[in-house]
Amino acid sequence: MANTKSAKKRIRQIKARTLRNKIRKTMIRTAVRRFEDALARRDFEAAEIALRNAYARLDRAAQKGAIHRNKASRKKSRLAHKLQQAKAQAS
């Protein structure tokens, strides 16, 4: 347990930051899930909209430090690849 005033403040700051990061990560998972659901339904229009939303969530989380920028880039690339494969299989 922290004894100094500054250490107690750091603990409060860490808790607040952890909560914000948790929220951002949950928003990413939700956006990706909506994209994958649209792909499963073969609704490519909705999938593209969901993909743009997922891109925005990933970029924002990377910008704020919730996830590493390379992880955001990797996830975006994989999602785009999934969409392209699904479109190719449909045609």
Domains of the chain are 5-90 (1.20.58.110)
**pLDDT of 7 strictly over 90:** yes
Of the chain, the end-to-end C-alpha distance in Å amounts to 61
pLDDT tens digits for 23-78? 999 999 999 999 999 999 999 999 999 999 999 999 999 999 999 999 999 999 99
pTM of structure = 0.89
pLDDT tens digits for 11-23? 999 999 999 999 9
Cα separation, 28 vs 54, in Å, equals 6
